[in-house]
Amino acid sequence: MTRPPVLGVPLNDAKTDDLYLDLTQSNQRLNSDQELGYEVLVGLSSLPKRLPSHLIYDDRGSELFQRIMGLPEYYPTRCEEQILRAYAREILNSVAKRPFNIVDLGAGDGKKTMILVEEAQRMKVDFRFVPIDISAGAMRGLVSRVRTEHPDVAIQGLVAEYTAGVRWLASQSDGRSNLVLFLGSNIGNFDRANARGFLSRLWASMRVTDRLLIGFDLKKDIDRLLAAYNDSEGVTAEFNLNLLDRLNKELEADFDRSRWRHFGTYNVFSGAMESYLVSMEHQTVHINRLERLFTFEPWEPIHTEYSYKYLPADMDSLAADSGYRVEARFLDQDGWFSDDVWAPIKRPVEADLSPAE
Ligand code: AVJ
């Protein structure tokens, strides 16, 4: 089955006028195939070639990530579960003075969040669980599972972009504070500049009584890092290579997996684990729905993912630069991972700054 090209299709109903054509309205919006198409076109036209890491998470990619979280080498999940179990009450006390929402950005299967949710239930405080995810399918799955397994938990799923969801919650005048969770070292996907940008944007959506619980993977023995991203069962390799299958399916590309290998490496200077797909020979790939051929040289890489590792001082400066005060820092027993509680610093708007007459 061949579907039409995704790029360069005609725009519909531009607003017309005697004087000009207004293209700024809804006719410029892209559908999800077009969004994917442009991201792939731009990434594979760049040098060095790259693909944005969020593309890894189609249904199969998300399923593979759930398997990664269960791998013996993938320590972050177990470290963070240990932290949440040990400090759940202290974390919740940062917002529990009034009714609050436990707002989860990127809940996945919700397993880690349920540690906090169950502790909040034991504390008999007034709270709701508010997962936010851009995928309606993932949200439907999570909400129905929580409803059956924890029928007494008040849950309100939001299908939204993260900061739009938090902004909407802050605009509700229901007197609830928000404990915003950004767990699992998801911040590690951003380089330092974009991490600041993302956290500043989130800051703008938070009120002074809200708190951010954010997970950081810490700098540690390089061998341990390398093992976590090059596991012995090859699940991480499969997770990375699945991106090629996705492009084959959704954009009608003809990537041949056997000509590619996964490579995970650690850059000590930038502090990032980096993942690549490396072309093992000269090859040309046709991406039908982009109407393009892409050529790969032998050993040419496509960069697919960053996972930045932090020193405590890196976390301190990131917090300060994006407008937060570090209220608490909780490490696991090995000191490999941290869940930080950050409070947004807000300066009151001066009533009138104009000079007196
Ligand atoms: C979901 C971004 C936190 O960086 O550790 C795991 C993704 N990639 N193994 C991470 C991932 C390869 C993961 N995050």
Helix (H) or strand (E) holding 338: strand 337-344
CA distance to 4, 37, 249, 250, 251, per residue, from 1 (Å)? 10, 18, 11, 11, 12
Question: How many Å lie between the centroid of ligand 1 and the Cα of residue 233?
Answer: 16
Token readout for 172 is 């509700």
In this predicted structure, what is the pLDDT of residue 206? 94
User: The pTM is what?
Assistant: 0.92
Give ranges for CATH 3.40.50.150 in the chain. Answer: 63-220+311-345
Q: Give me the mean pLDDT over the 103-131 stretch.
A: 93
Mean residue pLDDT across the chain: 92
Has residue 27 got a pLDDT over 70? no
**Residue 86 has what pLDDT?**
98
Between CA 200 and CA 306 the distance in angstroms is 20
Which of the four pLDDT bands, split at 50, 70 and 90, describes residue 109? Answer: confident
Q: Note the pLDDT of residue 31.
A: 82
Structural fold of domain 63-220+311-345: Rossmann fold (3.40.50)
Distance 74 CA to ligand 1 centre (A): 9
For a mutational test of ligand 1's pocket, the pick from 54, 56, 65, i.e. the residue with the most ligand atoms closer than 8 A to its C-beta, is 65
Q: What is the pLDDT of residues 156-174, one digit of tens each?
A: 999 888 888 988 988 887 8
**Residue found by looking up tokens 């991972």 in the block:** 337
Q: Is the CB of 82 under 6 A from ligand 1?
A: no
27 Cα–ligand 1 center, Å: 36
184 touches ligand 1 (CB under 6 Å)? yes
Position 62 pLDDT exceeds 90:
no
The mean per-residue pLDDT over the stretch 224-240 comes to: 97
The percent of residues above 90 in pLDDT, for the chain, comes to 77
Q: Supply the pLDDT for residue 69.
A: 94
Find out whether 184 and 106 touch, Cβ atoms under 8 Å: yes
Q: Which residue did the predictor score with more confidence, 289 or 25?
A: 289
Residues 113 and 131: beta-carbon distance below 8 Å: yes
Angle between helices 32-45 and 235-251 (to 10 degrees): 110
Query: Average pLDDT, stretch 89-117?
Result: 93
- Ligand 1 pocket, 307 CB below 6 A? yes
Atom number, ligand 1, closest to the C-alpha of residue 65: 6
